[in-house]
Amino acid sequence: MPPRRSQPAQQLTVELERASLRALQQVYDEANRSLFKGQLRRPQLLFVEATQRLGQWCSEPRQIELSRSLVLEQGWGVLVEVLKHEMAHQYVEDVLAITDEGPHGQAFRLICEERAIDAKAAGLPKSGPVADEQQRVLSRIAKLLSLAKSTNLHEAETAMSLAQRLMLKYNLEHAMQPTSRGYRFEHIGRPTGRVGESERLLAALLAEHFFVEVIWVPVWRPLEGKRGSVLEVCGTHENLEFAGYVHAFLIDTADRLWSQYRAERNLRSNAERREFISGVMAGFRDKLAREKRQQQKEGLVWVGDAELSHYLKRRHPHIRWMRGSVRQRPESWSHGKEAGKKIVLHKPMKSTPSSAPKLLPGR
């Protein structure tokens, strides 16, 4: 499969490329334990100047070749998905001893399905053609979010509430259908070396109120030669679209609110920024919780999506939960929380092509 076209990447030094290969070896070992029960024997992992393939499993000599362009041009998440795809090929040949089905035969597809691996080896799943129904619901939500930009607070709040209610009803209706919903995943936001409280709160409110599952996954930052984490979000196309919009909107809004707060208080540094933005996320999370309770009083009760949870479990069989601690909060956190309670989701007044119903232009 041909690799995706992209802009030329910065070149890694020899030392940084070697460090990336060592990090990739650890990814291989972890995926072997969690997805393949340790039944694989690690082959040599190589970066090659491939132009026709993203990756390739070679039984003779025993090695997995990965396109060097993946390291920087596509991102670590794409590289890991291609590696798992090639590991599935290795499993079919080395463990199942099946060699007569062709490269993407029935056994290979089953192995990928059981482990939620992209059988197409296209890296992180990308949106294909959008179904008419999906496009209709996204277009309606985009219109409601545009109305939520109204300077009339009551009108803005009503429009945001209607957008959330529309997504709730849409998911309730589809949750009762026996057909597969076509789950996928995306990595959103920038990889970070430290997951702060505000990032954890933002991830939590996405999972609680926007019909997705979230998990922080480890990544390697090749140019820095350091480990990090990135937020992985699992769900259907339309729910990933909405969650991605909310994520970007809240990060941008929280930064804007902090700038206003800092100017109003004549603060000379960003020392209180983290606490303020954590408060913003906590306040908006509380606001969503209140609206959810109101929806439940009206009989609109979302109890979760068992199939989506199963999809997440297939991708990550061994999940560790992160817990926060209760501590005394500074004044800036309380002020941020009050600001967060007043946030109204809205869509920027910028149109997008009907063929690509993005809720947030430029994502």
Instruction: For tokens 């929280």, name the residue.
Output: 254
Tens place of pLDDT per residue across the chain (363 aa):
444 444 444 678 899 999 999 999 999 999 999 999 999 999 999 999 876 788 999 999 999 999 988 888 888 999 999 999 999 999 999 999 998 887 789 999 999 999 999 887 555 555 555 566 767 777 877 777 777 676 776 777 787 888 888 888 888 877 766 556 788 999 999 898 889 999 999 999 999 999 999 999 999 999 899 999 999 999 998 889 889 989 999 999 999 999 999 999 999 899 999 999 999 999 999 999 998 998 888 887 787 888 999 999 999 998 877 666 667 788 999 999 999 999 988 765 443 433 333 544 333
Kindly compute the dihedral angle of the four CA atoms of residues 279, 280, 284, 287, in this order, to the nearest 10 degrees: 60
Its sign, for the CA torsion 15, 17, 21, 27, is positive
The two counts, helices (H) then strands (E), for the chain are: 11, 6
Chain-centre distance of CA 327, in angstroms? 29
pLDDT at 182: 81
Give me 73's structure tokens: 């041009």
Cβ neighbours of residue 317 closer than 8 Å, sequence gap 6 or more: 34, 35
pLDDT at 301: 79
Fold entry, domain 14-115: Zincin-like (3.30.2010)
184-192 vs 55-59, strand pairing mode = unpaired
pLDDT at 357: 39
Give the C-alpha separation, 3 to 330, whole Å: 50
pLDDT at 131: 61
For residue 218, the SS3 value is: strand
184-192 vs 226-235, strand pairing mode = antiparallel
The residue ranges of every structural domain in the chain are 14-115, 132-340
Query: Is-contact 283 338, C-beta < 8 A?
Result: yes
pLDDT at 46: 94
Chain-centre distance of CA 76, in angstroms? 13
| DSSP secondary structure letters along 203-244 | HHHHHHHSS-EEEEEEEEETTTTEEEEEEEEEE-HHHHHHHH
Indicate the burial class of 172 (C-beta count within 10 angstroms; 0-12, 13-18, 19 or more): middle
Question: Model-level pTM?
Answer: 0.83
Biggest CA pair distance of the chain:
72
pLDDT at 282: 96
